[in-house]
Chains A and B, each alone.
Chain A
């Protein structure tokens, strides 16, 4: 008997591999994953206080870098919302003491290099990229942009034109409207996290404002510079030291970013857009920070609710009902202030109310019953098995170290996170859903054509209309400026 089986196996194998049975995916055996090489990042502080993070990577003949600067549009004055953004734009386009922005464009593009500047919510981001043979030349330009921006008037005007056109276009894309109205309502329209650019706030901004904003925030002790690529660390360190030796500007330390102070803004808000066939929606409320002790459990909870293909929202709203192409939930934590717990998607006008209703039911289920063993295991395995992708490129390690440092997180935070995920239990998931999800406080924003909703949105509760009118700058001038 035994011989026969062996023989049969041998014959089958010899005939052709193609006749061998295909194993079930459940029976595949995997060898242990080879350990990941985590690259060494050299960290130094220059005499002027600027911090350096250097990472050699010789695979491609490139040198790239980014300077993080502690600033952000959270520091915009209330009557000049947009100041940080414009400063970030014109730092590069307005040129340096020795070259106009147009000259920089030509010089950089001649050698396929780039130097870019931007100011985001809570950091300034000045970056460069160069082929290895042009690295020194590009670093010099990068230094000049960072240390001696000229903010030429014509580029201030150009940036303002671009931002005004952006304001005029902000109601063209329903997805953008929903996202914006949701974010602003949850954080509060009168806070730096929720206020918006208007023609009037742009019009008040002058070149002198840009220069003052720049001076306050751009000084060496306020800069963390990360450079990676095809170089030798001691040589690059020496070059940067020399390059930035003359930059000695000093300023008082930057205060903390304003805290999020907001009360829930519950309600259903409808923005009418009658030229679309789908309703775009966002619902949720404030989330939390990465450092919260419940963060791993909240990630697992949000993943089971609306993470990937196996999530409850995907299974029910998309696969079972065919109501949406896109539907997802995320806990959306931030480094230094609460992010947004947000459920987003879009559905044909006719199934708007039903879809939001079903989503609310699924949130309620998360708060009333434990998830299944299978759901929990699946969520944990997905995080553990894909963990290697946090290290698959040296640049990811460098960026992580840089941002952890910037926001005051420990270097091994990502490992703490993984360990935290592995400890999460079904009881934890239920507990955090109960403690942190509050459907009665949900801000629900829908953007679509209510004439085609079928079941009206008011089935779900009172509906507040959203006024999409864009305030004209002149109206404010005529009526006297309101000082917030």
Chain B
């Protein structure tokens, strides 16, 4: 596409060249193919060491959780480690029957519970015991954690998965000679998932929520921010979902989610390392070719209505003060995306960001001032987020007042050209530094492909950044950092008498 900016400042000419070379270099080493069923592969050869990184990105995440069943995408991600009929069972035909029996007992239990005030407590108790017995029976056929154990025994490292609002990822690294094992295991978990140990795993997922959200002041404040900022769009909740929804999730919900969203056309795979792309293709056809093609899942149609005024929320916590202040911004496909990223670098990047210099370094009223240009996801209109932790003896109110003053000045005074050049140089250098690891690269290639339809955008994006002018930054600051667009959430100390 467009060649790197000839008009660019001499200052970053060298790094611009380096990145252009990287793109050319990558073109030679990348092989891309799509199977007939729609599953896409990106293979990047890197033969320095006999290891390979694998990254699977599913273009579905917690935003796709059905209403009342939040946490479902995350729940399925956990189930994807539970094995298949062939992996993890001592007797699949019997286990299958036992799993069906759990669901029948659970249906009866829910039927009784649904009577609410007319439910018979003794009957509920008896049915709960039936469910428990059915679970114990099914568990007796399970070889627990066999699926991840096979990966660990074969030298797999960095095994994990993550559910975000926009997408879900699965990843690990293997010694290069065992690459075929990944093709087998990864294809089988998406071809024949078994929802075994579902209700125990639901408890584990709840524990994860308690750990990440309920027992962390940042987690609680973040949950409050999203719930306050978004009135309609599913960005209104944390990726893990609500506790009461999680407690009610059923196997049939997870099966339906899997059938709808884990279709080959909605999944992309990146492989980086010591692998022959021709062989990778043969293995991809053999193992993943049997995934049946299916229509793409629906998009989220809910559009967040325009915000009509500034919003504020507090959570009480005995912790030291924290604040999140967020402004509505458009999605990552908007023409202003690059300018918003540059603005976040100017305000809060490194030790030269405007907010850091003033509030942390010079006035010493804050210990942390951060900014995130795109939050909590990018596929849909989202938030430009500020994070504040006041220094000991200073308040949130004082900090916010100073920050607002700095933002007002930012909107009226044109930004220093050197600062602008600095942010652009850093963006380039950050990319070069990220090219160092197989697993990081796999994640990067896949993410650009899934989000923008082309992995090359990880390089061509830099051209967009280069084009951003001081006027652009000032314009987006004025346009988006407005009181009407704002949601502020703070922590407050519990009132003294309320504590007693």
Residues on A close to B: CB < 8 A? 16-18, 20, 22-25, 28, 30-37, 59-62, 102, 105-106, 109-112, 129, 131, 133, 157-158, 161-162, 164-169, 172-175, 275-278, 280, 308-310, 314-315, 318-326, 346-348, 378, 381-382, 384-389, 391-393
Q: Are B286 and A17 in contact (CB under 8 A)?
A: yes
Selected contact of A348 from candidates B207, B421, B425, B428, CB within 8 Å: B207
Q: Report A-chain residues with C-beta under 8 Å of the C-beta of B145.
A: 309-310, 314-315, 319
A-B contacts, 27 listed (Cβ < 8 Å)? A17-B289, A18-B289, A25-B150, A30-B181, A34-B177, A36-B49, A62-B432, A105-B350, A110-B425, A112-B15, A112-B428, A131-B429, A161-B391, A161-B392, A165-B392, A169-B319, A172-B217, A309-B81, A310-B153, A323-B203, A325-B205, A348-B206, A382-B152, A385-B155, A391-B49, A392-B51, A393-B49
B372 at interface (Cβ–Cβ under 8 A)?
no
Q: Are A162 and B367 in contact (CB under 8 A)?
A: yes
Asked whether, in the complex, the Cβ of B211 is within 8 Å of the Cβ of A326, the reply is: yes
Band of interface residues on B: 35 or more
Which residues from A are CB-within-8-Å of B210? 276-278, 346, 348
A28 with B184, Cβ < 8 A, contacts A17-B285, A109-B422, A158-B361 known: yes
Where chain B touches its partner, the secondary structure class is helix
Asked if A112 and B429 make an inter-chain contact with CB atoms under 8 angstroms apart, the answer reads: yes
A309-B148, A325-B207, A391-B49 known; A102 vs B155 contact (CB < 8 Å):
no
In the assembly, what is the distance between CA of A96 and CA of B128, in Å?
A: 70
Contact call A325/B211, Cβ cutoff below 8 A? yes
**Hey, which chain A residues are within 8 Å of B49, CB to CB?**
36-37, 388, 391-393
B433-484 residues with Cβ-Cβ distance < 8 A to A are 433, 435-438
Interface-located stretch among B194-202, B324-332, B404-412: B194-202
Determine whether B374 belongs to the interface, using a CB cutoff of 8 Å to chain A. no
A310's contact among B148, B201, B317, B318, by CB below 8 Å, is which? B148
Contact yes or no, A36 B50, CB < 8 A = yes
Contact call A34/B274, Cβ cutoff below 8 A: yes
Q: Is the CB of A25 within 8 A of B184?
A: yes
Nearest opposing residue in chain A for B178, CB measure: A30
Q: Is B426 part of the binding interface, using a Cβ–Cβ cutoff of 8 Å?
A: yes
Residue among B210, B361, B437 having the largest count of chain A Cβ atoms under 10 Å:
B210
Determine whether the beta carbon of A346 is less than 8 Å from that of B211: yes
Asked if B216 is at the interface (CB within 8 A of a chain A CB), the reply is yes
Contact between B48 and A346, CB atoms less than 8 A apart: no
- Chain A residues closer than 8 Å to B159, beta-carbon distance: 309
Max chain A C-beta neighbours (<10 A), residue from B155, B361, B391, B428: B155
Could you count the A-B residue pairs with CB atoms below 8 Å apart for me: how many are there? 224
Q: Which of B149, B204, B350 contacts A109 (CB 8 A)?
A: B350
With CB as the reference atom, state the residue of chain B lying closest to A32: B177
Which of A17, A30, A165, A169 neighbours the largest number of chain B CB atoms within 10 Å of its CB?
A165
Q: A105-B350, A131-B429, A165-B391 are in contact. Are A28 and B180 (CB under 8 A)?
A: yes
The one of B175, B184, B320 in contact with A33, judged by C-beta atoms closer than 8 angstroms, is B175
Which residues on the A side are within 8 Å of B59 (C-beta)? none
Task: Tell which of A164, A310, A314, A326 has the most Cβ of chain B within 10 Å.
Answer: A310
Hey, which chain B residues are within 8 Å of A18, CB to CB? 285-286, 289-290
Report A-chain residues with C-beta under 8 Å of the C-beta of B290: 18
Q: B5: CB under 8 A from chain A?
A: no
Q: How far is the CB of A332 from chain B (nearest CB, A)?
A: 19
CA distance A158 to B391 in the complex (A): 10
Q: Assess whether B86 is interfacial by the CB under 8 Å rule.
A: yes
Select A386's contact among B156, B202, B357, beta carbons within 8 Å.
Answer: B156
- Chain B: minimal CB distance from A122 (Å): 27
Contact B289 A112 (CB under 8 A): no
Min distance, Cβ B219 to any Cβ of chain A, angstroms: 10
Among candidates A35, A165, A325, residue contacting B208 with C-beta atoms closer than 8 Å:
A325
Task: Indicate which residue in A23, A35, A173, A385 contacts B178 across the interface (CB closer than 8 Å).
Answer: A385
Cβ of B497 within 8 Å of any chain A Cβ, yes or no, is no
Partner of A28, one of B181, B197, B207, B350: B181
* Least CB distance, B190 to chain A, in whole angstroms: 13
Contacts A25-B185, A308-B148, A319-B200 supplied; 7 other A-B pairs, CB < 8 Å: A25-B87, A275-B217, A309-B81, A309-B145, A322-B207, A325-B205, A347-B207
* CB-defined contacts of A32 to chain B, threshold 8 Å: 177
The answer to whether A24 touches B86 (Cβ under 8 A) is yes
Residue B430, interface by CB 8 Å? yes
For B392, list chain A residues within 8 Å (CB): 161, 164-165, 167-168
Residues on A with beta carbons closer than 8 Å to the beta carbon of B14:
131, 133
B313 on the interface (CB 8 Å rule)? no
Partner of B204, one of A16, A133, A165, A325: A325
- State the CA gap A109–B154 with chains docked (Å): 43
Contact in complex: A131, B18 (CB < 8 Å): yes
Please report which residues of chain B, range 63-81, place their CB below 8 angstroms from some CB of chain A when the two chains form the complex.
81
Q: Complex: how many Å from CA A59 to CA B25?
A: 11
Q: Is B208 in contact with A110, judged by CB distance below 8 angstroms?
A: no
- Cβ of B302 within 8 Å of any chain A Cβ, yes or no, is no
By Cβ-Cβ distance, the 7 closest A-B pairs, closest first, are: A385-B155, A322-B203, A112-B429, A309-B148, A276-B215, A386-B155, A325-B208
Contact residue among B87, B149, B200, B282 (Cβ-Cβ distance under 8 Å from A320): B200
Is B214 positioned at the interface, with any CB of A under 8 Å from its CB? yes
Chain A nearest CB from B261 CB (Å) reads 23
**Residues of A close to B173: CB separation below 8 A:** 389
Most B Cβ at <10 Å: residue of A33, A37, A386: A386
A230 to B370, CA, bound (A): 33
Q: Is B149 in contact with A309, judged by CB distance below 8 angstroms? A: yes
Given contacts A112-B428, A131-B18, whether A30 and B157 have CB atoms under 8 Å apart is: no
Contact B207–A346 (Cβ < 8 Å): yes
**Which chain B residues lie closer than 8 Å to A106 at the CB level?**
352, 422
A389 in complex: contacting residue of B157, B187, B425, B436, CB < 8 Å: B157
Do A173 and B216 touch (CB < 8 A)? yes
Give the complex CA separation of A146 and B139 in angstroms: 60
B149-190 Cβ-contact flags toward A at 8 Å (1 or 0): 110111111010000000000000101111011001101100
Taking a contact as CB atoms under 8 Å apart, the answer to whether B286 and A20 are in contact is yes
Interface centre among A111, A384, A391 (most CB of B within 10 A): A111
Chain B, Cβ-Cβ closest to A134: B14
Distance between Cα atoms of A53 and B273 in the complex (Å): 27
Which residue of A has the minimal Cβ distance to B282?
A17
Q: Chain A CB within 10 Å — which of B175, B349, B357 has the most?
A: B175
The residues of A that contact B208 with a CB separation of less than 8 Å are 325
User: What is the minimal beta-carbon distance from A141 to any residue of chain B, in angstroms?
Assistant: 14
- Which residue of B185, B204, B421 contacts A324 across the interface (Cβ within 8 Å)? B204
Tell me if B378 is interfacial: C-beta within 8 Å of chain A.
Answer: no
